[in-house]
Amino acid sequence: MKMATDTSFQFFTTKRNRSLVKWRYPHPLTKGTVSLYIQYTMDQLCLPMDLEEDIPLNHLVRVVNEAVNKLDDAIFDAAYPGGGRDSYHPKMLTKVIIYAYTQRVYASRQIAKAVRENIMFMWIAGRQRPDFRTINRFRSERIKDVLEAVFTAVLQFLADENYVQLENYFVDGTKIEANANRYTFVWGKAVVKHKAKLQEKVQTLFATIEETEKQEEKTHGSGDLRELGEASQMTSEKLELAVKQLEARLQEKPKNKPLKKAVRTLRKDFLPRLQKYEAHEEVLGNRNSYSKTDKDATFMRMKEDHMRNGQLKPGYNVQMGTENQFILGYSVHQRPTDTRCLIPHLEKVKSQLGKLPSTVIADAGYGGEENYDYLERNETEAIVKYSTYHREKSKGWQKDISKIDNWTYDAEQDTWTCAAGQTLVFRRVSKEKTESGYEIEYRHYRSASCEGCPLKPQCTKAQGNREVKVSLNYVRLKNQAREKLRSEEGYKLAVRRMIEPEPVFGDIKNNRGFKRFLLRGLPKVSLEVGWLSLAHNLLKKAAINAKSKGVKHRQVA
């Protein structure tokens, strides 16, 4: 508090409210002081004001402004083919949306409100006021073919300024709930079961119709409908054809009540249900479930279980790769497991950056022959654990004689030797294809005789001789991964992985409160993740700059 003294009056101002000035002067009757206040008025404000003075030099909004200004205008050409009235500048809208995502403002109406009322938003928008429709249309439709190029360009700026080196790529996944009703679900197994039951009813109905006509006419009948009903796979097209044939017969015999009832049942009940099941199967594809309100969302088990009953919720699997807690790549998948998401994710990163990072580090959820083989073919070092990596270190695993990892393999003879000294010789080769088309070759080995072996109860529960199925390629890739993980450099990277992607997910979900998508559909959800990634990277850059400048300031002081 500042005080000033005069012979006639005293006054003081408070630091918290400098617009309020209080005057004190002696009163002749009370021999005390009387307080008067300066009249508060809004007439002093004269717009437009220079908002630049109210924004600190190191503020986040300046970091966003600087990063977007560096972008080449040609990047946005694909979003604006020309024609029509003049649009808002895409850089201005890009700045507004990115800054909004850094401030936990995600809804288009809230962003439009902030542009009208918030000084930072007013400054970065250049005093322009796009409405919520313009903002939402830009972020979810116009920029859909441009956002990845914007993300790559900003990432290149970070690499040029040595924030990232694009060498070590720490990948992990998290599940985010979709903007869909949790109870409008369609389960793939239920669709298959109900469709099979419906086809049985159709076959039974066709057989009944044929039998009825045979008895009425005392002939063998044509048998066309019976053959159609006994088809291994009844489709809606075939059923539609059969219904038309029955309707034609009904015109010839309009008084045939059983036939009339059958046609009505097929047309009103069976055919619509079969068409519905086929539509469900088309939407499901290779998935096991989807939501009716967002057909691209798959039901997954989330960590956020408010009911504590393991409820499945519609969501998406978001894969991200980080370095120094900057997001280098992102992708959105409909699969709940991470194993089959790695290759599509890395293919997207490869298309964005032009190459894969030199080293990929991931947890045991990504370990598998297909993933290891992909990384080896692309000459990328894999610091990726497999499912049994940690269990192999336990004494129980090392003493378990049933595990083939504790046996000896003779590459020249192509034989395995078990703990009892029995030799398992090669028998045959079998091949299996994964859902993505990758072919795995298994070699089958069998022992000559396990009778009388004292270790057989500990080795196997099978009645006959012990037989194993082994992919030698996977054994080789696992051995390579084990050596890399146990090396000094591999161990450091594996430990560093614990503080790379997980803090990024924690910042997005908890610090910035993004636990549920606002948009629906896989393409729009992917755009939302892109905006989140841009906002996170610039927020991280601003935090590092503020920290480094604070250290320099303390050193100078």
Asked whether residue 207 falls in the same domain as residue 137, the answer is no
- Is 285 part of a structural domain of the chain? yes
Do both 65 and 137 map to the same domain? Answer: yes
CA 362 to chain centre: 16
State which H helix or E strand residue 1 sits in: none
- Verify that 59 and 29 share a domain, yes or no: no
10 and 97 in a single domain? The answer is no
Asked if residue 228 is part of any domain, the answer here is yes
Q: How far is CA 429 from the centre of its chain?
A: 38
Distance CA 442, CA 338 (A): 24
**Total structural domains within the chain:** 3
Q: DSSP class of residue 516?
A: B
71 and 10 within one domain: no
Rounded Cα distance, 232 and 223, in Å: 16
Tell me the C-alpha distance between 433 and 416, whole Å.
25
237 inside domain: yes
Instruction: Give the pLDDT of the chain (557 residues) as one tens digit per residue.
Output: 444 444 444 444 444 444 444 445 455 555 555 555 556 665 655 655 677 878 888 899 999 999 999 999 889 888 887 766 668 899 999 999 999 999 999 999 999 999 999 999 999 998 899 999 999 999 998 888 899 999 999 999 999 999 999 899 999 999 999 999 989 999 999 999 999 999 888 888 888 887 777 776 655 445 555 555 555 577 888 888 888 888 888 888 777 788 888 888 888 999 999 999 999 999 999 899 999 999 999 999 988 776 667 789 999 999 999 999 999 999 999 999 999 999 999 999 999 888 899 999 999 989 999 999 999 999 999 999 998 999 988 999 988 988 988 899 999 999 999 988 889 999 999 999 988 889 999 999 999 888 888 888 888 888 888 899 999 999 999 999 999 999 999 999 999 999 999 999 999 999 999 999 999 999 999 999 999 999 999 999 999 988 877 644 444 44
Do 59 and 125 lie in a common domain? yes
Residues 204 and 122 in one domain: no
Please check whether residues 271 and 192 belong to one and the same domain. yes
Residue 351 domain-assigned (yes or no): no
Measured distance CA(401)–CA(170) in Å, rounded: 35
Decide if 117 is inside a domain. yes
H-state helical runs in 57-183: 60-69, 90-102, 108-117, 119-124, 132-140, 147-160
Residue span of the structural domain in which 62 resides: 55-83+90-145
The reply to whether 230 and 268 lie within a common domain is yes
- Which of 262, 290, 318 is the endpoint of a domain? 290
Residue 458 lies in a domain: no
Assess if residue 25 is contained within a domain. Answer: yes
| 205 and 123 in a common domain | no
Distance of CA 346 to the CA centre of its chain: 14
Residues 17 and 65 in one domain: no
Burial class (CB in 10 A: 0-12, 13-18, 19+), 277: buried
Q: Judge contact between 473 and 376, C-beta under 8 A.
A: no
Encoded tokens for 263: 């046609």
Statement to judge: residues 242 and 279 lie in one domain: yes
Would residue 97 count as lying in a domain? yes
